[in-house]
Every structure is written in C-alpha cells, then in structure tokens.
Amino acid sequence: MNFLSFLKDKHNVNDTLVFSIDDKSKVKIGVPAVSRYVHSKKYFEINNGPTTPDHDFPIGEKMLITPSGNKLETDWLIKLGYLELELQTESYQDKQDRTTYPKPRHGQLHIFNRAFHFMSTTAFTHARDIYKIIQEKEQKPAILALLSDNGNDFSPNNYYVFIALGRLWKCLNLDQLILASFAPYHSRYNPIEIAWGTMNIALAQTILCKDTNVKVDTQAAKVNVFRKAMTQLDTIWGKTSYAQKLVKSSSVDPLVSIEDNFSDYEHIKDVLENLGNSAFYDKYKSEIKFLFRHCYRRNHFLHFRRCYRLNCTHCNNTQKHPEAFDILDGVDDSFGTLLKPILIKQVYEGKHYPNFIDYQKSLALRDKIQEELKQDSEKEEKCHFCYWHFQSDNDKKRHLAFCAG
C-alpha cells in the first residue's frame, strides 16, 4: 500500500492523485444519526440539554443515508489551489531503518450522500463520484491511485470494480489507474477511516428531521423526508473541518436518473451472470476485452495502463508522463507495474518488507525479487492473452469468455 505514496513523492509528478475511498456506516433519520455512545463535543444551554429517545429505530423502512467518501491524500505543503500543489520529497529513516518518504495524510474530503431506500452504492456509483471530483479540477491527472478496503464495492477481485474503474481510466484519458486494497482485517489502516471518526463526532446528539410529523408511508413523503435530511447532513458536514479543510458534502437526489458511462449497471450484471447467454453480451464483449488487454490483476491489486501497441488508437502516442512508465517498466519488465512485496532474507534479515526506494536503488535486489516472484508465479495460473492472474475456476471461466480470441 505504501508503494503508491512512494511512487508519487519519489518522482514529483504534480498531476498524480491518490484517493482513500470507503463508505461510512448508515446515517439514521428521525433518531440519533449516530450511536448515542459517540462522544459529543458540543455546548448546550442551561435547561436545553441533549435529549435522545428511548429507542433508536428509524422512522420508516430503510430510512437511512449512505455516505460515500473520497479523501484526497496530499501533504502539508499544499497551497491555494491544485495547480500550486507542492510535494514533500525529503526522505527519513523509519523505525525499521528503511529509507522512506512521509506518507501524505492531509487532503480534501469529498462525501456523496445517497438515500438508501431509493438507491444502493455500487462500484459504478463510486466511479461516478471520482469522475465528478476530477472533472471539477482545472488540471486533470495523468495517474490516479486508489486505496480501499477489500469490501465488495472496492475489491480488485470484483468484476464490477474492474469494469467501473476501467471505464473511469478510459473516460478520464489517464495514463495509469491503480487500485490497491488492504488485506482482510486490515481495513482500519485505510486513511479515510480516521475521517469517518471526525464525521461521527460532528453528528453526535444530532437527529435529522427531528421536527417532522409526516407519516412516511407514501413514496412522496419519503422523498421529502430524505431531501430534508440530506440537506441538513450536507450543512452539518459542510461546516466541519478535517485536515485543515472544510468537508465538501453533497447529496444525490433520490428521484434523479443519471445517464452516463456508469449508468448501465444492470446490463453489466446480466452480462457477467449469464455470459454468452446474455442479450447484452455482444454489446459489451469488445469493451471488456479491451479493458482486459490493458489491465494487470493480482490479489488485492488492479492496474490499468496505456499499452505500446501501434494499432491501439486509444493509447498510441498519448502518454502525458512517459517517465512514469519508464520507472515502472524498470521495476517489472512483464507489464510495468509495482512488484508484489515479499520478504527477502538478504534485506532487513527477512523481518521487514523492502520498500519502493530499495527497489530503485538496488538492481541486484530487484533481480532477486523478480526471481522469487517468478518462482511463486509459476504456481499461479495466468491468462495467455493478458496479465490477469486467476483467483478461482469461476474467475477463469468468466475471464476467458471475454478475453479469449
């Protein structure tokens, strides 16, 4: 996970963006928005103290709000605007005596709220959120890296995530897009988890739509309650500061239908479940095959990048930062991606993982790691047409239905 930050800081590429992404637990409506055990830091007037109901049941079925967060990972040297971003590149020795760079931990937090009763979050909604954030920037990135937990909507092993991020990579005309997820039971290390704690504190002793007397047994009533609750939520979080910046919170209207490159989730679902028997198979086969040919996938890691094929009209002579490709090509000659971290007895006595800087400084170490990885990869089955590592027999069947031929 640290390699993504190292790649950004080491080479000082100003239009490399790293996001930490995750969904927050549901926010309730009509009862305390978060657990009553969340510490409240608010001041209350005399005779006007906090009051909470005896029970915290929502006022209606699925009357919950799902917040989706995207936290930009930058460092302390950020100035007034994206074009003036400066990177902190001074190295230091960590407690394992490894040369490393400071991890970026301070950046803008974007939150998109959705009405759980009317819409669910998927890999496609998350891709749309990131697309919207980047489209609002004056300078578009060339490299986009995402840090996530291994949840279903963010897992590199999920085909919906693969297609959604592949479209994001193509629509934004990126040189590279990398998704790395934490191993199981390690999602607490995802930087955005700290941000969710701050958001919970902002909602302590808060009841959204507290004064509503509307009986939410009709569709119109539920829509009005959701709109009011999400407006209140945007106001509260919009006044909350995190990492020295006010949070940008916005809501998706429950009745607005969006038609874009991420709106055909149901068709994609039908294709992935029924493969060649799907009525939409021919429509999506060439697109999915194109994405496979530009993607490297192993467990907990997904990487899209431009190719060098002369007949590829999307990739030919359109790289924004070819030096970033040279760096990765020097690390792994097969695809040009970040090597899988492994323990080597010759480095740190086999007790700690070598980092990205170690790979760059020592050709001998890089060759040794590539040799070790080659021996391990011989045990794994891979696609003959692309750089996809199969995780199961079902994965292989589904993959070859699009990539073969």
Q: Are 147 and 21 in contact (CB under 8 A)?
A: yes
R_g over Cα of the chain: 23
Mean pLDDT over the full length of the chain = 78
Q: At what angle do helices 281-293 and 159-171 cross, to 10 degrees?
A: 80
Judge whether residue 14 has pLDDT over 60: no
Residue 380 included in any domain: no
Q: 377 lies in a domain?
A: no
In sequence order, what are the beta bridge partners of 147?
Answer: 20, 180
Residue 385 lies in a domain: no
- Name the domain count of the chain: 1
Does 35 or 255 have the greater pLDDT score?
A: 255
> What is the pLDDT averaged over residues 376-380?
62
Tell me the residue range of the domain where 244 lies: 2-321
* pLDDT tens digits, one per residue of 171-230: 998 888 999 888 777 888 888 888 998 899 888 888 888 765 545 677 888 888 889 999
pTM recorded for the entire structure: 0.84
In a domain, 33, yes or no: yes
Confidence at residue 99, expressed as pLDDT on a 0 to 100 scale:
72
Question: 89 in a domain, yes or no?
Answer: yes
From residue 151, how far is each of 79, 123, 124 by CA, in Å? 34, 10, 14
More confident residue, 304 or 243: 304
- Is 371 a domain residue? no
Residue 340 has pLDDT above 50, yes or no: yes
Rounded mean pLDDT, 306-320: 74
Residue 126 lies in a domain: yes
Q: Cβ atoms within 10 A of the Cβ of 21, count?
A: 23
Burial of 178 (0-12, 13-18, 19+ CB in 10 A): buried
Query: What is the per-residue pLDDT for 372?
Result: 67
Domain assignment present for residue 177? The answer is yes
Lowest mean pLDDT among 188-192, 320-324, 342-346: 320-324
Of 180 and 112, more confident = 112
Coil, strand or helix at 67: strand
Return the higher-pLDDT residue of 297 and 378: 297
State pLDDT tens for residues 54-91. Answer: 665 555 567 888 999 999 886 544 333 433 344 445 66
